[in-house]
Amino acid sequence: MPTIGEYEAAARDRLAPAHYDYFAGGAGEEITLRANETAFARLALLPRVLRGAGSPRTGITLLGSSLAMPVLVAPTAFHRLADPEGERATARAAATAGTVMIVSMASTMAVEDVASAASGVTLWFQLYLQPDMDFTEAIVRRAEAAGCAALVVTVDSPARGRRDRDARNGFDDLPDGMCCENLRDGDRVRPIVMSPEVGWEHVDRLRRMTRLPIVLKGVTHPADACLALDHGVSALYVSNHGGRQLDTVPAAVDLLPAITAAVGGAVPVLVDGGIRRGTDVVKALALGASAVAVGRPVIWGLAADGERGAARVLGLLRDEIEHALALCGVASVRDLGPDLVRPC
């Protein structure tokens, strides 16, 4: 299949309708969900010519991890709904693609099992700070012991998003036989608490708890980007959660310029939301992102064709990035700048 759009169509055919809706859907009227993709269509690329740039290189280094391309696998929950091999298949696909998989705290396989699925894969672990900081610490220790190289702390979820499709479908829990394996605590599986009590002091406590770099995911306001730097985070991750949390937040790529200006190069800035093409990646990097991540595209690959589908989706993006860089007259992603992008 030549594009991610075809993987989505194949995934839709194969998934139970309620599960497709869970993966595809967003919050409220899905204004932000749609905006994430249309914002890329509203940006034009302005290529340079005769640069003699040679074959483009797509590799980057990020927080000490080497990546074959500037696209990470965003943390997404419940991969076993898409494929019986679940997150283990995704980890192998990420290894094949030479990129980082960010394992969701809400994965349907334990982080230790994901880590053992593929030799040489780089995993980062996504965390919702739990108000019970002893339990948060227990999960952090598991992620460390499993070899995760960074913690991605999602801060856009002081409450669960209101997703009308899920409400209509009555989808509110995993089927029997599946659970969030990272939430096991003795005999029980704890619910993930999304708490409005969580504040910067919890980030400070996490900082003191671990030597792993902390990436703050879900920052949209430049003032929060500045605060994050004050609190010693190692990277910022601009995201509106794929339009699944607060509806009517601006498109992710439109948030980038103000955040990168606020950060001033102090730490890497990642972004996700609506990236479906190599040209989308090039636009985000030109606007100052160090790397991007993709959520749904990997799920579509996984649901359509398991590990092979997820690997193919990532490979497609890599090929498209390389091609777009060549046509922009650019030798590597480091050479992209805002002069290459303008509104249509």
Ligand X SMILES: Cc1cc2nc3c(=O)[nH]c(=O)nc-3n(C[C@H](O)[C@H](O)[C@H](O)COP(=O)(O)O)c2cc1C
Ligand Y SMILES: O=C(O)C(=O)c1ccccc1
Closer CB to ligand Y, 102 or 262, in the complex: 102
Q: How far is the CB of 201 from ligand Y (least distance, A)?
A: 23
Q: Tell me, by CB under 6 A, how many residues bind ligand X.
A: 22
- The answer on whether 32 is annotated among ligand-binding residues is no
Q: Which of 62, 67, 77, 206 binds ligand X (CB under 6 A)?
A: 77
Q: How far is the CB of 278 from ligand X (least distance, A)?
A: 14
Residue 70 binding result from ligand X, ligand Y, none, given CB thresholds of 5 to 8 Å by partner type: none
Q: Annotated catalytic sites, by residue?
A: 241
- Return d(Cα 292, Cα 280) in angstroms, integer: 9
In the bound state, the residue with its beta carbon closest to ligand X is 295
Q: How far is the CB of 251 from ligand Y (least distance, A)?
A: 17
- The answer on whether 276 is annotated among ligand-binding residues is yes
Closer CB to ligand X, 48 or 221, in the complex: 221
Closer CB to ligand Y, 241 or 318, in the complex: 241
239 binds ligand X (CB under 6 A): yes
- HEC-encoded secondary structure of the chain: CCCHHHHHHHHHHHCCHHHHHHHHCCCCCCHHHHHHHHHHHCEEECCCCCCCCCCCECCEEECCEEECCCEEECCCCCHHHCCCCHHHHHHHHHHHHCCEEEECCCCCCCHHHHHCCCCCCEEEEEECCCCCHHHHHHHHHHHHHCCCCCEEEECCCCCCCCCHHHHHHCCCCCCCCCCCHHHEECCEECCCCCCCCCCHHHHHHHHHHCCCCEEEEEECCHHHHHHHHHCCCCEEEECCHHHCCCCCCCCHHHHHHHHHHHHCCCCCEEEECCCCCHHHHHHHHHCCCCEEEECHHHHHHHHHHHHHHHHHHHHHHHHHHHHHHHHHCCCEHHHCCHHHEEEC
Kindly identify the residues of this chain, within the stretch 94-123, that bind ligand X according to CB under 6 A.
Answer: 104, 106
Residues lying near ligand Y in the complex (CB under 6 A): 77, 106, 192, 241, 244
Q: How far is the CB of 198 from ligand X (least distance, A)?
A: 14
Considering only 73-81, 177-185, 312-320, 333-341, which stretch makes contact with ligand X by CB under 6 A?
73-81
Q: Build a one-symbol-per-residue string for 7-46: x at contacts with ligand X by CB under 6 A, - elsewhere.
A: ----------------x------------x----------
Compute φ and ψ for 30, nearest 5 degrees. 65, 30
- The answer on whether 75 is annotated among ligand-binding residues is yes
- The answer to whether 306 and 89 are in contact (CB under 8 A) is yes
- The answer on whether 76 is annotated among ligand-binding residues is yes
Could you tell me which of 91, 119, 93, 117 has the C-alpha nearest to residue 104?
91
Q: How far is the CB of 243 from ligand X (least distance, A)?
A: 7
- Return d(Cα 36, Cα 219) in angstroms, integer: 15
Residue 73 binding result from ligand Y, ligand X, none, given CB thresholds of 5 to 8 Å by partner type: none
Q: Build a one-symbol-per-residue string for 141-160: x at contacts with ligand X by CB under 6 A, - elsewhere.
A: -------------x------
Q: How far is the CB of 55 from ligand X (least distance, A)?
A: 28
- The answer to whether 320 and 297 are in contact (CB under 8 A) is no
Annotated binding residues for FMN, written as ranges, equal 75-77, 104, 126, 154, 217, 239, 272-276, 295-296
Residues that bind ligand X (CB under 6 A): 23, 36, 74-77, 104, 106, 126, 154, 217, 239, 241-242, 244, 272-275, 294-296
Annotated binding residues, written as ranges, equal 22, 75-77, 104, 126, 128, 154, 163, 217, 239, 241, 244, 272-276, 295-296
